[in-house]
Amino acid sequence: MNFAIVRLLAVAAVAAAAAWGWQANRYETTIEQMQRDHARERQVAVDTVVTALQAAIARHRQLTDQLDALDRTHFSEMQHATAENTRLQRALAAGDVRMSVRARCRPDARAGAGEDQPGAGLGDGAAGRCELSGEDAADLVDLFAGAERDAEKLRYFQARERALEGAGVCVEP
């Protein structure tokens, strides 16, 4: 009987060892499969993030290029307008170019013409043209140049805002 119990214990030990080995193998296979699945999922996530980053970088480069082109265009137009206005101001101040404006003159009672003396020139309310002095004309050109600069700046900022909105960039003050 002792021999039968030992044999039974030996068979039980071998069966337990075999079951243990089979279970360990099954767990290792399951763990390996889970690791492969996890690695695949990680790679898909990394690929998704890389693709999204590449798209964002491409959009950023495109927006930067677009804004750089706007800056170059704006700077070039501003330089050209400034040079043209400076040239015109110098020509007006030197008397090379003349500027006239349409005018309607009213009779001036303080001009010394009495009731019995007719006024001279355009004092009768007639329309005509008056030539401005070089200094006054240069002042007008400077005034108009300032308005042109402001209008150009406004166009630049509006184009920049449209470019940013088109790119989906939210700029908060």
- Summarised one tens digit per residue, pLDDT across range 49-64 is 999 999 999 988 988 8
Mean pLDDT of the 51-79 span: 90
Q: CA 144, 146, 149: angle at the middle one, nearest 5?
A: 110
Query: How far is the C-alpha of 135 from the C-alpha of 157, rounded, in Å?
Result: 33
97 close to 91: Cβ distance less than 8 angstroms: yes
Q: 22 is written with which tokens?
A: 């089979």
Phi, psi of 119 (to 5 degrees): -75, 160
78 close to 152: Cβ distance less than 8 angstroms: yes
Share of the chain above pLDDT 70, in %: 84
In this predicted structure, what is the pLDDT of residue 6? 84
* DSSP reduced 3-state for 101: strand
Report the candidate in 63, 90, 50, 94 with the shortest Cα–Cα distance to residue 170: 63
Mean pLDDT of the 165-171 span: 74
Mean pLDDT of the 150-171 span: 83
93 close to 134: Cβ distance less than 8 angstroms: yes
Over the range 80-114, which residues count as b (16 or more CB within 10 Å of their CB) and which as e?
eeeeebeebbebbbeeeeebeeeeeeeeeeeeeee
Report the candidate in 73, 91, 94, 78 with the shortest Cα–Cα distance to residue 146: 78
Q: How confident is the model at residue 125 (pLDDT cuts 50, 70, 90)?
A: low
164 close to 171: Cβ distance less than 8 angstroms: yes
Tell me the per-residue pLDDT of 92-124, one tens digit each, with 9 for 90 and over.
878 788 877 777 766 665 555 555 555 445 555
Report the candidate in 111, 105, 137 with the shortest Cα–Cα distance to residue 123: 105
